[in-house]
């Protein structure tokens, strides 16, 4: 018997059309005598008028019973009751109702036990908006009044916020992330609990923090990031480092930035300068992203003279696509004037096929070896010399002229030739 479910009210009149596959799964489980509901984020999205990206299903059926009802399944997390069902239009996670055991690592329960009661399953969830179940026949199961919180756009914990965050410290960041992505306010009890328990974030992996930070930075409601500062959780996110920037100003800059994660990361961590790479590494960003962000930060406030040579010297170290994005960032932070014709000059460099990289040189390493320069370091130094000369005078970039220039360089340097 479901207790305190707050079902069968006016919201059940809402026209909800579920995908064919989802209806099939619910129907098959019900035919076998089990309960089954869509739960969590997909219900929240439906109530907000959004199309869910995926559908999670909770059921009273045990894992082995789930597997018997469907032809193609695989064990996603069978120890936690989750089976993935494969159907023609996709795959769907189906999980047995469960009760979480004790949380010892501030992230996941040490054990779970299965339940026959949807109320018990919803009771273990993080926020009221994620603790709603729906079935076309039964309607909504909403024991914590999550629909009201969705209607009034507020993030509120299921029961006691401190208990929820003591169980799983990542929920503190998820609360702020939902505020940023959904445009919801955050309940005062949550903010107080984050302030009191923020050091528990040290139990959470850098990878998980990276994911939540990424969602925040790419969100449409960036002012919510101020909650990171007001709750004091920023230092713990950064593994004990103090945030050295003006967060309010940084947020205003990010609002002007395209939804490009490395660009937004560069603005968020611009204050860190040469230490930005270390922070990003601790947050488990990939090397490509770290390299891109470091380049943006290095040149963000560094002046670039408005002449072709200066631009080509920068293009040696940062490719054209990143350079164009760098110009966008520099305009956002006011490092260059929006009317300064950097882009016009960049276009002219390309139209004139001017050389600024070794791959554009008319001579390469093999050519140098054929001319008698065999030592690797000498080849590198000679190519750097030729590139520098060509960047100053693009007319030199022919095989004949570079060969003549190289022979003069070789004869006037320490390079030994055969």
Q: What is the pLDDT of residues 388-401, one digit of tens each?
A: 999 999 999 999 99
pLDDT mean over 178-195: 98
For residue 60, the 8-state DSSP code is S
Three-state SS for 91? strand
User: Which residue is listed with tokens 């990424």?
Assistant: 214
Mean pLDDT score of the chain: 91
Return the pLDDT at 262. Answer: 98
Range with the lowest mean pLDDT among 251-255, 257-261, 320-324? 320-324
Contact 402, 390 (CB under 8 A): yes
Closest Cα partner for 257 from 194, 310, 200, 330? 330
Three-state SS for 159? coil
CA distance 88 to 20: 10
Identify the band that residue 113 occupies on the pLDDT scale cut at 50, 70 and 90.
confident
pLDDT mean over 13-20: 78
For residue 127, the 8-state DSSP code is B
pLDDT mean over 326-346: 90
Contact 298, 269 (CB under 8 A): no
Angle of the 376-392 helix axis to the 308-315 helix axis, nearest 10? 150
Q: Which residues contact 361 (CB under 8 A, 6 or more apart)?
A: 355, 383, 386, 387, 390, 397, 402
Please check the confidence at residue 87 and state whether its pLDDT lies above 70: yes
Please check the confidence at residue 417 and state whether its pLDDT lies above 60: no
Q: In what order do the strands lie in the sheet with 56-59?
A: 73-77, 82-87, 90-96, 56-59, 36-39, 133-135, 139-141
CA distance 319 to 212: 29
Please check the confidence at residue 287 and state whether its pLDDT lies above 50: yes
pLDDT mean over 118-137: 96
Contact 382, 415 (CB under 8 A): yes
CA distance 291 to 307: 26
Architecture of the 1-143 domain: 2-Layer Sandwich (3.30)
User: Which residue is listed with tokens 């439906």?
Assistant: 46
Please check the confidence at residue 139 and state whether its pLDDT lies above 50: yes
The rounded percent of the chain whose pLDDT value lies above 70 is: 92
CA distance 384 to 391: 11
Identify the band that residue 344 occupies on the pLDDT scale cut at 50, 70 and 90.
confident
Identify the band that residue 108 occupies on the pLDDT scale cut at 50, 70 and 90.
low
Contact 355, 384 (CB under 8 A): no
| φ and ψ at residue 32, rounded to 5 degrees | -85, 5
Return the pLDDT at 5. Answer: 43
CA distance 341 to 414: 42
| Segments of 97-211 assigned E as strands | 98-100, 112-114, 133-135, 139-141, 154-155, 185-186
Question: Residue 287: in which H helix or E strand, if any?
Answer: helix 287-300
For residue 224, the 8-state DSSP code is G
Return the pLDDT at 222. Answer: 98
Contact 166, 104 (CB under 8 A): no
Question: How far, CA to CA in Å, does 107 sit from each of 2, 148, 169, 204?
Answer: 29, 28, 6, 7
Three-state SS for 58? strand
Return the pLDDT at 13. Answer: 39
Question: Residue 82: in which H helix or E strand, if any?
Answer: strand 82-87
For residue 363, the 8-state DSSP code is S
CATH of the domain spanning 153-243, picked from 3.40.50.1220, 1.10.110.30, 3.40.50.150, 1.20.1250.20? 1.10.110.30
Burial class (CB in 10 A: 0-12, 13-18, 19+), 328: middle
pLDDT mean over 228-238: 96
CA distance 205 to 208: 5
CA distance 242 to 230: 13
CA distance 237 to 241: 8
* Residue 313 CB neighbour total at 10 angstroms: 15
Selected residue with higher pLDDT from 227 and 351: 227
Please check the confidence at residue 46 and state whether its pLDDT lies above 70: yes
Joined tokens for residue 16 = 């909800």
pLDDT mean over 276-286: 97
CA distance 52 to 40: 10
Please check the confidence at residue 7 and state whether its pLDDT lies above 60: no
Joined tokens for residue 144 = 């914590």
For residue 394, the 8-state DSSP code is G
pLDDT mean over 11-23: 77
For residue 309, the 8-state DSSP code is H
């Amino acid at each position: 018997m479901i207790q305190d479910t707050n079902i069968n009210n006016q919201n059940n009149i809402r026209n909800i059309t579920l995908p064919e596959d989802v209806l099939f799964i619910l129907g098959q489980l019900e035919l076998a005598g089990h309960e089954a509901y869509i739960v969590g984020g997909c219900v929240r999205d439906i109530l907000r008028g959004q199309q869910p990206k995926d559908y999670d299903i909770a059921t009273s059926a045990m894992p082995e019973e789930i597997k018997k009802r469907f032809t193609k399944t695989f064990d996603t997390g069978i120890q936690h009751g989750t089976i993935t069902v494969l159907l023609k239009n996709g795959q769907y996670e189906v999980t047995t109702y469960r009760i979480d055991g004790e949380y010892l690592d501030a992230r996941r329960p040490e054990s779970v036990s299965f339940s026959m009661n949807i109320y018990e399953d919803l009771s273990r969830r993080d926020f009221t908006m994620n603790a709603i179940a729906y079935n076309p026949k039964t309607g909504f199961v909403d024991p914590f009044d999550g629909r009201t919180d969705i209607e009034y756009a507020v993030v509120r914990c299921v029961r006691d916020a401190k208990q929820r965050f003591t169980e799983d410290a990542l929920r503190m960041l998820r609360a702020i992330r939902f505020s940023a992505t959904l445009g919801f306010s955050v309940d005062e009890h949550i903010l107080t609990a984050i302030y009191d328990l923020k050091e528990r974030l040290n139990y959470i992996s850098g990878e998980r923090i990276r994911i939540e930070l990424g969602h925040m930075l790419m969100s449409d409601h960036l002012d919510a990031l101020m909650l990171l500062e007001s709750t004091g959780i920023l230092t713990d996110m950064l593994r004990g480092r103090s945030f050295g920037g003006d967060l309010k100003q940084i947020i205003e800059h990010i609002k002007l930035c395209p939804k490009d994660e490395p660009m937004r990361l560069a603005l968020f961590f611009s204050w860190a300068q040469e230490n930005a790479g270390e922070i990003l590494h601790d947050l488990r960003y990939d090397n490509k992203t770290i390299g891109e962000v470091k380049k943006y930060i290095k040149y963000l406030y560094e002046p670039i003279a408005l002449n072709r040579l200066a631009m080509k010297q920068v293009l040696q170290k940062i490719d054209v696509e990143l350079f164009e994005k760098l110009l966008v960032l520099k305009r956002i932070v006011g490092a260059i004037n929006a009317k300064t014709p950097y882009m016009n000059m960049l276009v002219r460099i390309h139209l004139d096929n001017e050389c600024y990289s070794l791959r554009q040189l008319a001579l390469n390493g093999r050519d140098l070896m054929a001319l008698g320069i065999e030592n690797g370091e000498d080849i590198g130094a000679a190519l750097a010399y030729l590139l520098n000369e060509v960047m100053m005078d693009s007319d030199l970039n022919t095989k004949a002229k570079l060969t003549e220039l190289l022979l003069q360089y070789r004869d006037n340097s320490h390079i030994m030739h055969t």
